[in-house]
Amino acid sequence: MPIKKLEKLNILILFLFFFIINISFSENSVTEIDNPKFSEKGLDNKQYEIKAKRGLKSENSIKLFEVEGKYRTQDGIWVFIEAEKAIYDQISKIIELEKEIYLFSDNDDKLYADFGKFDIDNDIIELKQNVKHIRNLDIITSDNLIITENFGKLIYQGNVKTKIVRENK
């Protein structure tokens, strides 16, 4: 009789083990998506669109590959974004950008960086490591750059260097 109880206990333990494994796999499941695209148009003239060649969706975020995006500020300025990889948090609407980041705007701004973060709801773009900003013939490099106020306020931080070229008239 004690052997049957031991067998039942082993079966119960085995069942619980598989149940726990199943729960952990379902919580961490990832779905591959081809050509994901997200967009939103607000009442305040702001709108954005993010698209990629492919994505890996987990519960609240999507890892994106070969990313392109565009964002219109409240002032109507279009900012275009390209990056090799990104993670888009659907709840906070924050995009973590990495590898070969390139931003350009309607105002002829061209920006490059290794890493970045774009907070869509708060209109804040942060670029980090090897930041380079080119406008016309002027070049500004820095370790970090924070862009706020509809692309109107740019704060350069760390090892800032400028090259300003003025045309002779």
- The distance between the two most distant Cα atoms of the chain, rounded to a whole number of Å, is 104
Q: Give the residue among 165, 156, 111, 164 at the shortest CA–CA distance from 134.
A: 111
Which pLDDT value is given to residue 144?
A: 94
Give the DSSP letter of residue 76.
Answer: -
Q: Exposed e or buried b for every residue in 26-43, given b needs 16+ CB within 10 A? A: eeeeeeeeeebebeeeee
Is 113 exposed, middle or buried (CB count within 10 Å of its CB: 0-12, 13-18, 19+)? buried
CA distance 116 to 95: 8
What residue ranges do the domains of the chain occupy? 2-29, 32-163
Give the DSSP letter of residue 137.
Answer: T
More confident residue, 33 or 160: 160
Q: Give the residue among 161, 73, 163, 60 at the shortest CA–CA distance from 118.
A: 73
Tell me the per-residue pLDDT of 31-41, one tens digit each, with 9 for 90 and over. 888 888 877 77
Per the DSSP assignment, residues forming a β-bridge with 62 are 57, 88
More confident residue, 130 or 18: 130
Residue 126 above 70 pLDDT? Answer: yes
Please, what is the end-to-end C-alpha distance for the chain in angstroms? 104
H-type alpha helices, the chain: 2-27
Per CATH, is 32-163 categorized as 2.60.40.10? no
Tell me the per-residue pLDDT of 46-101, one tens digit each, with 9 for 90 and over. 678 888 998 888 888 889 999 998 888 777 888 899 999 999 888 888 889 988 89
Residue 134's Cα: distance from chain center in Å?
22
User: What pTM, to 2 d.p., does this model score?
Assistant: 0.74
Which pLDDT value is given to residue 26?
A: 47
Which residues fall within 8 angstroms of residue 19, CB to CB, at 6 or more apart?
none
